Amino acid sequence: MLPGTEVGSGLTISWGATVLVLDFDGTLTDAEQEGVTFTQGCYESLARLTGWEIGRVVARAAEIETVILADPGSHAWMMDGVAVAPATVDPYLRIKPIATTILEESGADMAQGVVMALYDENYPKSGVCFRDGTLELLLELYRHEEDVYIVTNSATKPVQNKIQSLGMSITDRYGHECGGAFTAWWMTRIYGGAKKYVPGFMPGSTPTLSIPGLNRPVHFHRPNYGSVLDRLLAGKDWKDCTFVGDVFELDLALPFMMESRVGLLANDRTPPYEIAFLSGQPNARVLTQVSQILSFY
């Protein structure tokens, strides 16, 4: 490692943690831009399922979204009857309560799994748009061969494909050898299907976290996510690890409670209560740009 090394991009790396774990969608990508075609696809699917005209679906979706954004603490992404994340932060979170409400209002078939099937059907339609600074971040982490991983709810292959597109841009800039090596290095560090949204239930009482300004508990016990992290962190102390994500409940609540350092990469739809809570925690920081990850780590 090279402590405090000034790198070619002008970013300063301050090596501290032994492991860095990055979320992907919304953290390294611009989820709002990528989600435009995903959202449109979901609206078209809803029109088919409900028999509504597409204009009616779009108009009703806009009304529901306005309500959700106006009061993020009262609207959540539900899984197994448990609120597992705010329904505001990105299009992929907002679509579930929107779709559920529209399907219920239309009297359409609400068989178990229909909303997730709608999600799975349209996710591949998402665009590719990285946040500013992502290429520079991933390139510097590769150059210094850091112990870093991407752990995401998305399937592994689509994320690998997006990282490969960055490798192609590096090839254009630095040559095939550098771009190919970058891509190959990152391919083994992407872990998809983490299912961070699946809550766990423990005998007796399930551990929760209370956050001022949020009128429900945060269920931070996520066994699927935890099992992925246990494999990655085998033999390492959670306290020496840093996690960065854009949704506290999905990406950061579990490692936060394990005393890891956590960085919330906030956007203009991040619930204010998350920002206020993490701003007062010694093992947390609120970030606004991808370029801040290196100095935080």
Long-range contacts of the stretch 271-274 (C-beta < 8 A, 24+): 271/72, 271/73, 271/86, 271/88, 271/89, 271/213, 271/214, 272/72, 272/213, 273/72, 273/73, 273/211, 273/212, 273/213, 273/214, 274/86, 274/211, 274/248
* pLDDT for residue 205: 66
As a whole number of angstroms, the distance between CA 170 and CA 181 comes to 10
Local confidence pLDDT in tens for the 297 residues of the chain? 222 323 333 444 344 558 999 999 999 999 999 999 999 999 999 999 999 999 999 999 999 999 999 998 889 988 888 899 999 999 999 998 999 999 999 988 776 688 889 988 998 899 999 999 999 999 999 988 889 999 999 889 999 999 999 988 888 776 667 888 999 999 999 999 999 999 987 656 678 899 999 989 999 999 999 999 999 888 889 999 999 999 999 999 999 999 999 999 999 999 999 999 999 899 999 999 999 998 887
Instruction: Give kind and range of the element (H or E) at residue 265.
Output: strand 261-265
Amino acid at residue number 169: S
- In the beta sheet, which residues pair with residue 21? 149, 243
pTM as predicted? 0.87
3-state DSSP assignment of residue 283: coil
